[in-house]
Structures are given as C-alpha cells and as structure tokens.
Amino acid sequence: MTDQPNNTDVEKFVNQPYKYGFSTNIENDNIAKGLNEDIIRLISKKKNEPAFLLKFRLKAYKKWKKMKFPEWGQLQFPEIDFQDIIYYSAPKQTKKLESLDDVDPELLKTFEKLGIPLTEQKRLSNVAVDAIFDSASIGTTYKEELAKMNIVFTSLSEAAQEYPELIQKYLGKVVPIGDNYFSTLNSAVFTDGSFCYIPENVKCPYELSTYFRINEPKSGQYERTLIIAAENSQVSYLEGCTAPQYDDNQVHAAVVELIALDNADIKYSTVQNWYTGDYKSRGGIQNLVTKRGLCSGTNSKISWTQVETGSSVTWKYPSCLLVGDNSQGEFYSVSFTKDYQQADTGSKMIHVGKNSRSKIIAKGICAGNSRNTYRGAVSVNAKALGARNYSQCDSLLMGNSTNSNTFPFISVRNPTTKIEHEATTTTVGEEQIFYFLQRGISLEKAIGLIVSGFCQEVFTKLPLEFSVEADQLLRLKLEGTVG
C-alpha cells in the first residue's frame, strides 16, 4: 500500500475479511424496484398504516423530488440511482407472528450467527432486542416484562397500529419532513424501525436494543426510530448493524429521533459494522443517517455514543437541540476507517436553553487509503445564557496514505458562553511499535492496545456489556489472524 518501510506491518493488520458477509437464503416479499407515488402507497398499504402516515410520506416525497443531493461532505462516491433500489423487502410470512416461536428458524439462526440470540432460552440478559431484517421487524424480546412497567418497545409498524396518537404527535417533530435530502427520502419510504416510550418516573431496567440486518442485495434500509422519554424517566438504547458482502453498494438512510422531557435521560449507543466494501472499494453500505435528539425539558439529557467501524461511506451527525434550561447534550464517537472507507461524521449541539451544556469527544482512526473527517457545529443562541461546550477531536493515523480532516464550526450569539475546543493528531509510529515489541508484546497486541487506549474515553461511555464488545470489534478489525 505504501513504499515506505515503516507502517507496513501496521497496515498488514488492518486488512482482514468481513466476518458477517454471509447472506440468508430466505423467500422475501419484494416489491418492484423504483421510487414513485405508487410505490409509496404500496408500502403504506403493505404496512396497513393509518391515513396520516401515508400523508406524511407523500408530503415528504414531494419535497424530496425538489431537493438536491448534498455535495458538501468530504466524500466521493458514485451517484445513487434511486430508481434502482427496492424500497420494500420483508421475509415472507404466512401468518401473523404471535411470538418469537413462530419466526422462521432460518432467521433466528441468522441472528444467532450474528451473536444476537432471540429465543427465550438464549436471549441476552438485561438486553431487550428488536431484530430488524431488511424492511421488517422479526421480533422483540422481553416484551411482557417491559409491558408490566408500561414501557413501550416495539417496531414502528406495530406502534403505528397500537399507538397512532403518539406517532402522530412525535414523528417528524425533531427531524421535520424536508430537513435534509436523506432524511426526507427516509420520511417517504421508511419501512420499519423501533419505537420506545418510557412513561413518567420509570427507569428502564433493560438495555433496549435494535439490531439491523440488510440481507436483500437490491434493497436499501430506511428505518426510523423514535424514542420518547417522559418526565423523570431514563433509558439506555443500543443499535447494532451488519450486512452481507455484495459487490454493489447498498443505501442505508435512517432517521432517529429522540425526545427527552423534563429531567429525562436518554443514552443512545451505536455499534455500526455494516459491510465496508472490499479493498478495491467495490460494494459496501452507504450509511447516510440523520440522528437528532431534542432536550425539550428542563434538566433533560441526551447522550450519543457511536462506534463506527463499517460502511463504505458514512455520513452522520448525531445532534442535540438543547431547548430546556440546564439541559445537557453529549456526543462520544469512535470512527474507524480503513481501505477505501470514507467517513464524514461529527455532531451538532444547538444551545437554546439557559445554562445548557454540551460535550463532544470525537476519536478518528484512519488507516489504509481511507478518509476520515470530523465535522461539527456548536451553535449558541442569544437566549442560551451561561451555555457551555467542550469539544475534543483526536485523530490517530495509521499508514502514509490516509486522509484525516477536522471541520469544527462554532457560532456564539451571547457573551456569557464558555466554549473550549481541543484537537490532536497522532500517528502510530515505528518507535511506538518498537517499544511494545521490545517488551515482548506482539505486533497485533501492540496495535490493539494503542487503539483501544486511544478510544478508552469513548468506550467507557458504552453500556458495560457493549464496551467490551466494541473493544473486541475494533481489535478484530485491526487484527489479521482472528475471524
């Protein structure tokens, strides 16, 4: 990859095959390729949606048709032919699923292979999982236990049937129809996703988790997640993602909306491991995601943690609108790119409430010929007296062909604000590696230790069960011998 003698060893270890590249052979209910009003009506009909949702979709589609593909990112990828995508693909089911026992064993096997067992005997303790396969939710674990506490955790399709008033009230409240190109597309064609409602004064005892799997080669995944934490409630939510290895690009344009009312606390974590494309930049998921949280209540808190290791292209900026007084927004990110992966990611913190506080810790690890960009905005409104922000962006470069950028944007409209920004760039150098080797530590372990040390601050923010997993995932991505 590079002619220089140093770092070749390092690069050797960042080239290993994707572990989740298998596909599941299952009969799918696919609709025809292409995007038009009829397709949208068909999706809505397949999901038996209430009329307001169809209206929502059509309104979005009209706006989207007038919008332009955003070109401001530090990203280069071929134009997406939106007419060449299947917008609805779901495993064929002959009857309505009453419980997870009715799910096709092939699907259960798929999720088990991914490390997400769904059946009652095997399900993860303390983690309630909603498993989404292409466009449809397969099932949710711990449903009864959650229902006892009046916690709603279900697929968005089911929620549209059972809690239409909540959906109508909150969907599109944080990411309005027409917000940006990809979110608007999502608003028109979203197929499934998770819905959570944590009632007042309830601290959810389980980690809520959605696992996304794209299987169908020609489909995209347009899921939509909506989480509402009522007054004094608390929830921690985690999403994981994988996809089979195909030579064609696949689009993943998701929207996530979080709403935290007075004193509510939402922690949202992502471990993203979509297929990255191969070392020649063929195939891979284009991960074009809009995630935004609204801290509408006083003392509310939203915390985003992301570990982004997959996808050929990543375009996402989990953000917080800090409207409530004393509200808090946090963003902790590890973004790892290798080969020809491109990531343009960061966060936006918009301060409106008095004494609102935000913190951004972004760690980029850039190897091979990849591009890794941090793009962030901190904006403090005139009314946000006493607002504070701390941002830290660190880049770790491995190899000599990497491209790493940082674009922080700060806008402050009142004099009582305190903003701090720190940034560092370091390389995994020959001398560092030599130090480890001299102490008898193998190259693999050395790189693993350097990288996990670099990410420590972010990993500790993940739920305990997943912090170890994220560390392992990253080491797996680094090591040549495992997997």
Partner 1 sequence: MITKVPILELKNLKVTIGDKEVLKDLNLTVNKGEIHAIMGPNGSGKSTFSKVIAGHPSYDILSGDILFNGKSILSLEPDQRSHLGIFLAFQYPIEIPGVSNEEFLELIYNSKLEAENKEVKTLSTDFFNLLNEKLKLLDISEDFIWRNVNEGFSGGEKKRNEILQMMLLDSELSILDEIDSGLDIDALKIISNGINSFMNPDKAIILITHYQRLLDYVKPTYVHVIQNGKIIKTGNADLAKELELKGYDWLKEIN
Nearer to partner 1 by C-beta: 3 or 431?
Answer: 431
| Alpha helices (runs of H) in 365-442, residue ranges in sequence order | 430-438
Stretch of residues binding partner 1 (CB under 8 A), selected from 207-215, 239-247, 437-445, 463-471: 437-445
Strand partners, 260: 229, 295
Contact range with partner 1 by CB under 8 A, out of 55-63, 161-169, 370-378, 443-451: 443-451
Question: Is residue 455 part of the contact set for partner 1 (CB under 8 A)?
Answer: yes
- Residue 400 CB-half CA count within 13 A: 10
Per-residue tokens: 79? 């134009």
Secondary structure class of 427 (helix, strand, coil): strand
Distance of closest approach, residue 456 Cβ to partner 1, in angstroms: 4
Judged by CB under 8 A, the residue of 217, 437, 465, 476 near partner 1 is 437
Which residue carries 């491109």 as its tokens? 342
Tell me if 457 contacts partner 1 by CB under 8 A. Answer: yes
Tell me how crowded residue 419 is: count the other CB atoms within 10 A of its CB: 16
In angstroms, rounded to a whole number, what is the distance separating the alpha carbons of residues 430 and 434? 6
* Neighbouring residues of 85: CB distance < 8 A, sequence distance ≥ 6: 33, 34, 35, 218, 219, 220, 251
Distance (Å, rounded) from C-alpha 481 to C-alpha 209?
30
Mask for 221-240, x = binds partner 1 (CB under 8 A): --------------------
Q: Is 158 in the site for partner 1 (CB under 8 A)?
A: no
Specify the stretch interacting with partner 1 by CB under 8 A; choose among 78-86, 95-103, 135-143, 436-444. 436-444
* Member of 76, 201, 425, 456 binding partner 1 (CB under 8 A): 456
- 459: tokens are 């990993």
Query: Distance (Å, rounded) from C-alpha 338 to C-alpha 167?
Result: 39
Q: For residue 225, what is the enclosing H or E element? A: strand 224-229
Among 13-21, 69-77, 374-382, 445-453, the segment contacting partner 1 (CB under 8 A) = 445-453
In terms of CB distance, is 415 or 440 closer to partner 1?
440
Under the binding rule (CB under 8 A), the answer on residue 13 touching partner 1 is no
Which of 442, 464, 472, 480 binds partner 1 (CB under 8 A)? It is 442
Q: How many residues bind partner 1 (CB under 8 A)?
A: 23
Task: Kindly state the smallest distance separating residue 451's Cβ from partner 1, in Å.
Answer: 9
- 47/69 Cα distance (integer angstroms): 28
The residue among 438 and 481 lying less far from partner 1, judged by its C-beta, is 438
What is residue 242's DSSP assignment?
E
> Is residue 434 at the binding interface for partner 1, with CB under 8 A as the rule?
yes
Place of tokens 């955790």: 153
- Collapse the DSSP code of 328 into the 3-class scheme (helix H, G, I; strand E, B; otherwise coil) and give the result: strand
Q: Does 425 bind partner 1 (CB under 8 A)?
A: no
450 touches partner 1 by CB under 8 A:
yes
In the bound state with partner 1, the residue whose beta carbon lies nearer, of 54 and 437, is: 437
200 touches partner 1 (CB under 8 A): no
Indicate whether 5 belongs to the interface with partner 1 (CB under 8 A).
yes
Contact criterion met (CB below 8 Å) for 220 and 185: no
Q: Which residues bind partner 1 (CB under 8 A)?
A: 5-6, 430-432, 434-435, 437-443, 445, 449-450, 452-457
